[in-house]
Amino acid sequence: MDSEKKIRPDKMFYSIGEVAAMFNVNTSLIRYWENEFDVIKPQKNKKGNRLFTQKDIETFHLIWHLVKERGMTLSGAKKKIKDNRTETEHNFELVKKLNEIKSLLIEIRDEL
Protein backbone atom coordinates (compact mmCIF):
# COMPACT_ATOMS: atom_id res chain seq x y z
CA MET A 1 0.00 0.00 0.00
CA ASP A 2 1.50 3.31 -1.11
CA SER A 3 -1.10 5.88 -0.07
CA GLU A 4 1.37 8.23 1.59
CA LYS A 5 3.45 8.40 -1.55
CA LYS A 6 0.56 9.32 -3.84
CA ILE A 7 -1.40 11.83 -1.76
CA ARG A 8 -0.63 15.27 -3.13
CA PRO A 9 -1.31 18.24 -0.85
CA ASP A 10 -2.36 20.38 -3.85
CA LYS A 11 -4.99 17.89 -5.04
CA MET A 12 -8.51 18.13 -3.61
CA PHE A 13 -10.18 15.05 -5.10
CA TYR A 14 -9.14 11.58 -6.19
CA SER A 15 -11.01 9.18 -8.46
CA ILE A 16 -11.93 5.70 -7.29
CA GLY A 17 -9.24 4.31 -9.62
CA GLU A 18 -6.58 6.49 -8.00
CA VAL A 19 -7.66 5.44 -4.51
CA ALA A 20 -7.70 1.76 -5.50
CA ALA A 21 -4.19 2.13 -6.97
CA MET A 22 -2.93 3.70 -3.72
CA PHE A 23 -3.97 0.59 -1.82
CA ASN A 24 -3.24 -1.85 -4.65
CA VAL A 25 -6.80 -3.18 -4.59
CA ASN A 26 -9.72 -3.40 -7.02
CA THR A 27 -12.19 -0.54 -7.21
CA SER A 28 -14.86 -3.00 -6.04
CA LEU A 29 -13.20 -3.14 -2.60
CA ILE A 30 -13.24 0.67 -2.39
CA ARG A 31 -16.96 0.68 -3.28
CA TYR A 32 -17.61 -2.09 -0.74
CA TRP A 33 -15.84 -0.25 2.07
CA GLU A 34 -17.64 2.94 1.10
CA ASN A 35 -20.95 1.09 1.55
CA GLU A 36 -19.87 -0.57 4.80
CA PHE A 37 -18.40 2.50 6.52
CA ASP A 38 -20.75 5.46 6.79
CA VAL A 39 -17.83 7.79 7.58
CA ILE A 40 -16.80 7.61 3.90
CA LYS A 41 -19.02 9.88 1.86
CA PRO A 42 -17.41 10.77 -1.45
CA GLN A 43 -18.82 13.57 -3.53
CA LYS A 44 -20.03 12.70 -7.00
CA ASN A 45 -19.65 14.70 -10.17
CA LYS A 46 -22.38 15.19 -12.78
CA LYS A 47 -21.52 11.83 -14.35
CA GLY A 48 -21.88 10.11 -10.96
CA ASN A 49 -18.16 9.42 -10.57
CA ARG A 50 -16.97 9.27 -6.99
CA LEU A 51 -14.60 12.00 -5.84
CA PHE A 52 -12.68 11.15 -2.68
CA THR A 53 -10.98 13.74 -0.46
CA GLN A 54 -7.75 13.38 1.49
CA LYS A 55 -9.86 12.79 4.61
CA ASP A 56 -11.59 9.88 2.83
CA ILE A 57 -8.18 8.45 1.93
CA GLU A 58 -7.01 8.80 5.53
CA THR A 59 -10.14 6.90 6.59
CA PHE A 60 -9.40 4.16 4.02
CA HIS A 61 -5.87 4.01 5.41
CA LEU A 62 -7.24 3.56 8.93
CA ILE A 63 -9.66 0.86 7.75
CA TRP A 64 -6.80 -0.86 5.89
CA HIS A 65 -4.70 -0.82 9.05
CA LEU A 66 -7.47 -2.26 11.22
CA VAL A 67 -8.66 -4.91 8.75
CA LYS A 68 -5.60 -5.92 6.74
CA GLU A 69 -2.75 -5.27 9.18
CA ARG A 70 -4.39 -5.93 12.54
CA GLY A 71 -6.75 -8.63 11.27
CA MET A 72 -9.98 -7.13 12.59
CA THR A 73 -13.34 -7.99 11.08
CA LEU A 74 -15.24 -5.25 9.26
CA SER A 75 -17.75 -5.07 12.10
CA GLY A 76 -14.89 -4.78 14.61
CA ALA A 77 -13.27 -2.01 12.58
CA LYS A 78 -16.60 -0.18 12.26
CA LYS A 79 -17.14 -0.36 16.01
CA LYS A 80 -13.60 0.81 16.76
CA ILE A 81 -13.90 3.80 14.40
CA LYS A 82 -17.40 4.68 15.63
CA ASP A 83 -16.72 4.31 19.35
CA ASN A 84 -13.26 5.82 19.59
CA ARG A 85 -11.98 7.25 16.32
CA THR A 86 -9.57 9.74 17.92
CA GLU A 87 -7.77 7.10 19.97
CA THR A 88 -7.77 4.70 17.03
CA GLU A 89 -6.21 7.34 14.77
CA HIS A 90 -3.66 8.21 17.46
CA ASN A 91 -2.66 4.56 17.87
CA PHE A 92 -2.42 4.18 14.09
CA GLU A 93 -0.11 7.21 13.89
CA LEU A 94 2.08 5.72 16.63
CA VAL A 95 2.32 2.44 14.73
CA LYS A 96 3.29 4.32 11.56
CA LYS A 97 6.03 6.24 13.40
CA LEU A 98 7.36 3.10 15.05
CA ASN A 99 7.50 1.35 11.67
CA GLU A 100 9.41 4.32 10.22
CA ILE A 101 11.89 4.14 13.11
CA LYS A 102 12.22 0.38 12.67
CA SER A 103 12.94 0.81 8.95
CA LEU A 104 15.53 3.47 9.70
CA LEU A 105 17.23 1.26 12.31
CA ILE A 106 17.30 -1.68 9.92
CA GLU A 107 18.80 0.55 7.24
CA ILE A 108 21.49 1.76 9.66
CA ARG A 109 22.22 -1.81 10.77
CA ASP A 110 22.59 -2.95 7.19
CA GLU A 111 25.08 -0.17 6.49
CA LEU A 112 27.33 -1.23 9.37
Domain residue spans of the chain:
3-111
Quote the pLDDT of residue 30.
Answer: 95
* pLDDT in the model for residue 24: 93
Q: Give the chain's radius of gyration (CA, Å).
A: 16
User: Is 13 in contact with 45 (CB distance < 8 Å)?
Assistant: no
- Residue 42: which residues within 8 A CB-CB, separation 6 or more? 16, 34, 50, 51, 52, 53, 56
pLDDT for the residue numbered 91? 82
Average the pLDDT over 22-27 and give the result. 93
How confident is the model over 85-92, as a mean pLDDT? 80
Q: How confident is the model at residue 4 (pLDDT cuts 50, 70, 90)?
A: very low
pLDDT of residue 47: 92
State which fold the 3-111 domain adopts.
Multidrug-efflux Transporter Regulator; Chain: A; Domain 2 (1.10.1660)
Distances (CA, A) of 16 to 6, 28, 40, 65, 66: 13, 9, 12, 19, 21
Distant-in-sequence, close-in-space partners of 72: CB < 8 Å, separation ≥ 6: 66, 80
Strands 50-51 and 43-44, by their bridges, are antiparallel
Q: Whose CA is closest to 28, among 39, 20, 18?
A: 20
pLDDT in tens, 39-76: 898 999 999 999 999 999 989 999 998 999 889 999 99
Q: What pLDDT is attached to residue 27?
A: 95
